[in-house]
Structure 1
């Protein structure tokens, strides 16, 4: 059986977890939390980083920091995971869904401005498959309309946008950004996430939200002589056990990335002719983005063709899966959507197929199964 995903262990995870337990400080914001946060701040030049128990929590922190309130409008793609929207819906916002680009599931930057009203508070971009959205255009729109930008960088660790300011790490461009370390991501901690703060105005308050609405962090840094309840907040801070696991992964980030990129490139090279003969598109990476090899996907000719491929691979014990069901057509939000048909979003909902991609994968086995298909047409 070739699973869709298999978590990679570096071998140091349990060593660091044991060290964290023996330290007597396992509740969070200890040695390993600080090591991980410092790693991201120094390597990617984020202004401030705070580990969270999930990317969902990081997004919820972002919504609170932006003071999202009832009837505020937030623009985001429909082709994304539900957490992107839930974080803002929980604050009372109305979600205005934008279509994807024709050539990539990312938000179509050319369609954002027409959706802005006097109620719009923020634009949330999702770097799908780790590939950058067209951030120069998006940040220009936000600046002209006095809007905040949140980067949902759940899939985008160690990837870069190449624009007018040179090469910039994804997650460092918007006012706030959220990362995921779920077991399906490149770098993992089982469950886990991180809020990256690029606008200094949010730094102090973010620590308070992170510490359940208290100024405990300031107390431990000697900035106040006692701490108490000073704002809203929640239990966003993960335990040291999660941070210790993550630290073992971060020490091996380059090794993990190199291996994933090798698999991704192998797929791209060896499936090119097969895909062309079956009217299937391979992943598109625009010139303004690097590639972190988070995901390798196909855009099938039809939903029936996708189902046929899934079935053929499953018969050979290879798991390939589709991805998001568009949020604007979900049971929860359909009657709240304004009725616009999002053509490209629907295309990716119906036709995108993800192939197995993980550190220990033998891509040759998967590729050989594809090449044995005389045709990928549904029958």
Structure 2
């Protein structure tokens, strides 16, 4: 039986705008169920307008978008890609599938993003790309990362899975590197159940991205009337989502600004309520650097070393509140040890911050009373 979010406090609760089923019915009525129908095209246009990218392409997941980026970069066995260890497995998997080697670099203590000051020392003759991850929708230091990439003739693939509607110095996350990847998983701000998008920021790669996304064929050109038949052009796969997914997503895109505002209200309220705990040394709140406008995707706390994270998680569970930690760092995972390598020895900041982090419930519709209950449990640490 589905739980009512008012009886318990779930970690996440997917938000529906009210038009999803209407648009799905429209796609059904029109007999357009496969990918790249009218709703897909609307979503592409919305993404291109909002981000300024050269071409946006919906995919069936952010993982698929990252895998497309690896194909577009022609990653070969032994090629290295610099990335943080504190990220979801897809960041690494996309390149490992092509034979690439993830090179794990430590994160910044403030934002938990890839530490741009450590990137240059990790570059070797085999380095092909840098994959910064915008943790919690807060931007990496992209000016520095792009400058490093330019100096060393590297490509940049932004993992902006959590960064839809976030910006860095006025530019949409995902639109700054050569490629960007978005997620529309139900845990994200703007959702389609599963789903993602690849942002192609290099115009020269746009046509090839279409081919790779369509099983390695020039099918899109055929439907535009640019060729009289479509054929297999190069290695690709089926990265398209169905039109029903795009119809659902379009309803979400229409309300993306409102959804972002509502999440930010809850984020800011947590931030204010938890300030006394930071002042008293119990925890550290998230830090958003100047020039970064985030999307309220996630609110996390970093517990001071004197406080037991498992005790807090147990207290949340006892009070019917779902709260979780986040990634197990990839450099310490079985596959990370097998397929990747760590630059600079131990990743001290990654290990320390990942062990201290707790994510709090945050979703559209979270009430003040529910937030008060969450913060009350945090307060139990000091009693």
Q: TM-score, normalised on structure 2?
A: 0.95
Note if 1:293 corresponds to 2:300: no
* TM-superposed deviation, 1:173: 0.5
How far 1:44 moved relative to its partner?
Answer: 1.7
The CA distance in 2 between the partners of 1:352 and 1:372, in whole Å, is: 16
- The answer to whether the 8 A contact 2:62-2:181 is kept is yes
Q: Aligned runs of 1:253-272 on 2, under 5 Å?
A: 253-272=256-275
Structure 2 runs not aligned, ≥5 long: 1-7
The partner residue of 2:47 within 37, 40, 46 is 40
> Residue in 2 aligned with 1:337?
341
- Contact 1:271/1:367 (CA < 8 Å) preserved in 2? no
Report the 3-state secondary structure (helix = DSSP H, G, I; strand = E; otherwise coil) of the residue aligned with 1:376.
helix
**Worse overlay, 141-150 or 39-48:** 39-48
Shift of 1:366: 2.9
Aligned to 2:126: 119
- CA pair 369-40 structure 1, distance change in 2 beyond 3 A: closer
Equivalent residue in structure 1 for 2:194, among 191, 194, 201:
191
> Is the CA contact (8 Å cut-off) linking 2:315 and 2:377 kept in structure 1?
no
What pairs with 1:45-124 in structure 2 (closer than 5 Å)?
45-124=52-131
Deviation at 1:374, TM superposition (A): 5.2
- Matching residue within 260, 283, 286 for 2:286: 283
Give the whole-Å Cα distance in 2 for the aligned partners of 1:369 and 1:101. Answer: 27
Partner of 2:132: helix, strand, or coil?
Answer: strand
Q: Does 1:323 align with 2:330?
A: no
Q: Match for residue 158 of structure 2?
A: 151
Among candidates 219, 233, 236, match of residue 233 of structure 1: 236
Counterpart CA distance in 2 for 1:57 and 1:372 is: 39
CA RMSD of aligned residues (A): 1.4
* Aligned match of 2:361: 356
Q: Deviations over 1:249-299 (max 9, x none)?
A: 000011111110100000001111033324200011011211210000000
* Cα distance between partner residues in 2 of 1:373 and 1:343: 26
Distance (whole Å) between structure 2 residues aligned to residue 342 and residue 224 of structure 1: 52
> Displacement of 1:365 after TM fit?
2.3
Q: Is the 8 A contact 2:91 2:159 kept in 1?
A: yes
1:61-91 Cα shifts (integer Å, max 9, x gaps): 0000000000001000000000000000000
> How many Å apart are 1:303 and its aligned residue?
8.6
CA distance in 2, matches of 1:44, 1:37: 11
Q: Please state how far the C-alpha of 1:131 moved relative to its aligned partner.
A: 0.2
**How far apart, in 1, do the equivalents of 2:34 and 2:122 lie?**
43
Distance 1:338 1:296, change over 3 A: closer
1:318 to 1:275, Cα distance in 2 relative to 1, 3 A: farther
CA shift, 1:338, in A, is 4.2
Match of 2:5? Answer: none
1:370 aligns with 2:375: yes
For residues 278 and 345 of structure 1, the distance between their equivalents in structure 2, rounded to whole angstroms, comes to 20
Distance 1:371 1:277 in 2: 15
Q: Which residue of 2 aligns with 1:219?
A: 222
Distance in 1 separating the partners of 2:182 and 2:15: 18
Measured in 2, the distance between the counterparts of 1:71 and 1:171 equals 26
User: Are the aligned partners of 1:41 and 1:47 in contact in 2 as well (CA < 8 Å)?
Assistant: yes
Give how far 1:142 is off.
0.2
| Structure 1 residue 241 displacement after superposition | 0.3
Q: Which runs of 4+ in 1 moved over 3 A?
A: 371-375
Q: Tell me the number of residue pairs that the alignment of Structure 1 and Structure 2 aligns.
A: 374
Residues of 1 paired with 2:271 and 2:24: CA distance?
37
CA–CA distance in 1 between the matches of 2:373 and 2:275?
13
Residues 369 and 87 of structure 1: is their aligned pair in 2 closer, same or farther, counting only changes over 3 Å?
closer
Cα offset, 1:364, TM superposition: 3.2
Alpha-carbon displacement from aligned partner over 1:85-134 (angstroms, at most 9, x marks no partner)? 00000000111101000112100000000000111000000000000000
Contact 1:278 1:375 in 2 (8 A): no
Once the two structures are overlaid, the 10-residue window that deviates more, 176-185 or 313-322, is 313-322
Measure the CA separation in 2 of the matches of 1:329 and 1:238: 33
